[in-house]
Amino acid sequence: THDGAETDLDLGHYERFTNLTMGRNNNYTTGRIYYDVITRERRGEYLGGTVQIVPHITNEIKKIILDRGKDVDIVLCEIGGTVGDIESLPFLETIRQFPREVRKGKCCLHSSDSGSLRKGFLRTQDKTDPTFSP
């Protein structure tokens, strides 16, 4: 990116699609989110309580989405990975909770590539995992 961040290649696609310049604050990883939560825990911001995926990690993800959406009309969130894999669960749980917390006059839309059925077989793009839970 223009600010030197190493990101997923998809960020370049979003730059071209939206005609916007993206940077490190447009790309959040699991590691970055966990690091921020653990740093706050070590500073005592959770008052010695047990840090958990729900609500601490999911609240951090929601905070990022809401912060990024303060001055824009649309926030596009890509959740990588495969539905059903444990690594994706905090993000999917956040998105599951999100519609109930969206303010009046806003909306939340979920979309996913589900592949296509052809001659009885599920066909997907080479790099795209189907959207289903085993």
Could you read off the pLDDT of 50-79 as tens digits, one per residue? 999 999 999 999 999 999 888 888 888 888
What is the SS3 assignment for the chain?
CCCCCCCCCHHHHHHHHHCCCCCHHHCCCHHHHHHHHHHHHHCCCCCCCCCCHHHHHHHHHHHHHHHHCCCCCCCCCCCCCCCCCHHHHHHHHHHHHHHHHCCCCCCCCCCCCCCEEECCEEECCCCCCCCCCC
Task: Report the topology of domain 10-123.
Answer: Rossmann fold (3.40.50)
Q: State the pLDDT confidence band at 116, using cuts at 50, 70 and 90.
A: low
Q: State the pLDDT confidence band at 126, using cuts at 50, 70 and 90.
A: very low
Each domain of the chain, given as residue ranges in start order, spans: 10-123
